[in-house]
Amino acid sequence: MINDLWYKNAIIYSLSVATFMDSNGDGIGDFVGLMRRLDYLQGLGVTAIWLMPFQVSPQRDDGYDIADYYGVDPRYGTFGDFVEFTHAAKQRGIRVLIDLVVNHTSNEHPWFLDARGDPSSKYRDWYIWSDTRPADANKGMVFPGVQKSTWTYEETAKAWYFHRFYDFQPDLNTANPAVQAEIFKIMGFWIQLGVSGFRMDAVPFVIAKKGADVRRPTEQYAMLREFREFLQWRQGDSIVLGEANVLAKNDMEYFGDAGDRLHMMFNFQVNQHLFYALASADTRPLVKAMEATKPRPVTGQWGMFLRNHDELDLGRLTDAQRRTVFAAFGPDKDMQLYDRGIRRRLAPMLGGDQRRLELAYSLMFTLPGTPVIRYGDEIGMGDDLSLPERTCARTPMQWSNEPHGGFTKSDKPLSPVISGGPYGYEHINAAIQRRHPDSLLNWTERIIRMRKEVPEVGWGDFSVIDTGDRAVLVIRYDWRNNSVLFVHNFHAEPREIAFAVGLTGDNAEHGKLLINLLSEDHSRAGGNGKHQIVIEAYGYRWYRVGGLDYLLRRTEAGGGPAGTGARSG
Ligand code: BGC
Ligand code: CA
């Protein structure tokens, strides 16, 4: 039964239809274009796609301002195209997750227009109003520096409305049972059209108590259970992947002690401390974050990511740690955003150095959870800092060295394709990389294939093995009597480390042999039971812990590749 939990070991790829592939030459990506790229995604090894919002929207926040939850924005295609797409994905064994943005609507949503125009409207209480300007109207902005307040006066309504995000995104009154019923209806609708679940936007704000008199927004966690129950009833294998950048001590409130709330959450704690480790070569805070976020129900899973469509939020680091990451990866003011983060893409942050990119990706694929890739990172795409805020990292996918990177035939793409310089489509594109065995694209494809052969990462228990060197992280996973072990060197210099695998009892013998899954360079423990490994600058190793019986079986089978994956299912 438990093997059915597909999300425990999925390979999730996030993309925006708008910037992926334009099929009809109007400069805007669309579902038909995306469909033509499904074989590319399947070839890469992707098993689930997370789509950014594609519903009807005035597009003032890249679709995170929805004006109709039950419509496909005509710029991207029709309902027919959408259903063809989910079907085509399904045929290739790829699931589709979509964004569920229900903390707020667009201020152009008919509900809001109705609500503001008439105090007796049935939609009035779907939003949060105040007759007077609330005292803390200048507090709690999500986009400080850009967003001025969280309450704005509405002329027609002659009242103030609450908006946790931009002023054109009025918050829904999610405590209102009618709003909750509508959220279920939205989920049920898209489930029916072929999706396998939702990336729920801004979860802590969705479930927070809202109102002019609320001083500390307390979370109504019970709502999460209701979402899950509804989904489970409609379609048993659908999930909610929550965006909740919260303190580790609150994680279990989101997962639910009984595993009855969110199926998945993005691990923002590990994400931020991972970037700190990459910046400082000190893995100790990362290990702390891993340990702190270890507890989760059997059915719960972390989403592991490097960069997403937003800024790299460093708000959970100490001031000193944040300064270190800024200095290493975003030293210019223009690279930073909202007083807490960096808006660049991964490749430019790491200086385009493939060793460091591989290290970062290798970590994302082997830290405890399910990897979530951002489109374009598999080819090392860059950013365009001349574009405002987060849009700098949302430029069109670079497919080839044809004009506009092969993204569109139009001369007016909705966002300029990166051109010229080290990250221009002329050099960085999928077509060129497909032809080079050592390209980042082909490396990513190979590492994904191997990741699928180590289900221990998704299912197993991890332990961090002490090497005495803070620059080197060694993690072991155990599951069903199998173990795998990963070594990562964050340092710019080679390191020599010694460690014992740490298995006991019958398994102690196994620990003496480490089968390298990525090369022929296996490791045998010395007389003291320890492995002595010299690992190159930014190096990484993936090992299967194998004992004598492994070697025997290999001989019986007449050799065969040493990189054999899982020993049993
Ligand atoms: C999304 C952002 C969006 C915001 C408002 C977030 O948490 O990730 O991209 O701007 O919600 O919907
Ligand atoms: Ca188009």
Provide the residue range defining the domain that includes 137.
110-162
Residue 119 lies in a domain: yes
Q: Is 154 a catalytic residue?
A: no
Residue 401 lies in a domain: no
Of all atoms in ligand 1, which is nearest to the CA of residue 243?
7
Give the distance (Å) from ligand 1 centre to CA of residue 201.
6
Q: ∠ at Cα 69 (68, 75), nearest 5°? A: 65
Q: In the chain, pLDDT over 70 holds for what percent of residues?
A: 96
Residue 393 lies in a domain: no
Tell me how far CA of residue 437 lies from CA of 79, 352, 364, 551, in angstroms.
Answer: 39, 18, 22, 30
Identify which ligand lies nearest to the alpha carbon of 34: 2
pLDDT at position 506 = 79
Give the distance (Å) from ligand 1 centre to CA of residue 533.
44
71-85: per-residue pLDDT in tens?
A: 999 999 999 999 999
pLDDT at position 423 = 98
Residue 117 lies in a domain: yes
Burial class (CB in 10 A: 0-12, 13-18, 19+), 140: middle
408-434: per-residue pLDDT in tens?
A: 999 999 999 999 999 999 999 999 999
Give the distance (Å) from ligand 1 centre to CA of residue 64.
6
Residue whose CA is closest, atom 5 of ligand 1? 64
Q: Which residues line ligand 1 (CB under 6 A)?
A: 61, 64, 101, 165, 201-202, 243, 309-310
- DSSP codes, 413-447: -SSPPP-SSTTSTTTS-HHHHHH-TTSHHHHHHHH
Output the domain CATH number for residue 143.
Answer: 3.90.400.10
pLDDT at position 184 = 98
How many structural domains does the chain have?
2
Give the distance (Å) from ligand 2 centre to CA of residue 525.
58
251-294: per-residue pLDDT in tens?
A: 999 999 999 999 999 999 999 999 999 999 999 999 999 999 99
Q: What is the mean predicted confidence (pLDDT) over 502-511?
A: 88
Q: ∠ at Cα 68 (63, 70), nearest 5°? A: 110
Identify which ligand lies nearest to the alpha carbon of 14: 1
Residue 125 lies in a domain: yes
**SS3 label, residue 341:** strand
Of all atoms in ligand 1, which is nearest to the CA of residue 308?
8
Give the distance (Å) from ligand 1 centre to CA of residue 10.
23
Average pLDDT score over the chain:
95
Give the distance (Å) from ligand 1 centre to CA of residue 546.
45
pLDDT at position 258 = 95
Residue whose CA is closest, atom 2 of ligand 1? 310
pLDDT at position 323 = 98
Ligand 1: residue of 51, 57, 310, 391 to mutate (most ligand atoms within 8 A of CB) is: 310
Tokens found for residue 394: 């949302």
pLDDT at position 553 = 55
pLDDT at position 20 = 99
Per-residue confidence at 3, pLDDT binned at 50, 70, 90? Answer: confident
344-367: per-residue pLDDT in tens?
A: 999 999 999 999 999 999 999 999
From the candidates 61, 219, 243, 378, which is the catalytic residue? Answer: 243
Ligand 1: residue of 51, 61, 105, 164 to mutate (most ligand atoms within 8 A of CB) is: 61
pLDDT at position 361 = 98
Burial class (CB in 10 A: 0-12, 13-18, 19+), 438: exposed
pLDDT at position 505 = 87
**Residue keyed to tokens 């014992």:** 500
Q: Is 310 a catalytic residue?
A: no
Ligand 1: residue of 55, 59, 64 to mutate (most ligand atoms within 8 A of CB) is: 64
Identify which ligand lies nearest to the alpha carbon of 407: 2
Ligand 1: residue of 100, 199, 201, 312 to mutate (most ligand atoms within 8 A of CB) is: 201
Residue where one domain finishes, among candidates 120, 146, 162:
162
pLDDT at position 507 = 85
Per-residue confidence at 561, pLDDT binned at 50, 70, 90? Answer: very low
Give the distance (Å) from ligand 2 centre to CA of residue 190.
22
From the candidates 201, 378, 384, 478, which is the catalytic residue? Answer: 201
Identify which ligand lies nearest to the alpha carbon of 26: 2
Residue 190 lies in a domain: no
Residue 528 lies in a domain: yes
Burial class (CB in 10 A: 0-12, 13-18, 19+), 267: buried
Output the domain CATH number for residue 513.
Answer: 2.60.40.1180
Of all atoms in ligand 1, which is nearest to the CA of residue 309?
9
Q: ∠ at Cα 49 (452, 436), nearest 5°? A: 60
Whole-number Å distance between alpha carbons of 389 and 396:
16
Asked which of 77-91, 309-323, 527-541, 552-566 is least confident by mean pLDDT, the reply is 552-566
In this predicted structure, the answer to whether residue 562 has a pLDDT above a threshold of 70 is: no
Q: How many CA atoms lie within 13 A of 255 on its CB side?
A: 23
Torsion of Cα atoms, 469 then 472 then 478 then 484, to 10°: -130
Residue where one domain finishes, among candidates 142, 162, 182:
162
pLDDT at position 2 = 63
Per-residue confidence at 105, pLDDT binned at 50, 70, 90? Answer: very high
pLDDT at position 1 = 44
Residue whose CA is closest, atom 4 of ligand 1? 64
Identify which ligand lies nearest to the alpha carbon of 25: 2
Residue whose CA is closest, atom 3 of ligand 1? 64
pLDDT at position 547 = 60
In this predicted structure, the answer to whether residue 210 has a pLDDT above a threshold of 80 is: yes
Residue 40 lies in a domain: no
Give the distance (Å) from ligand 1 centre to CA of residue 241.
14
Whole-number Å distance between alpha carbons of 104 and 9:
31
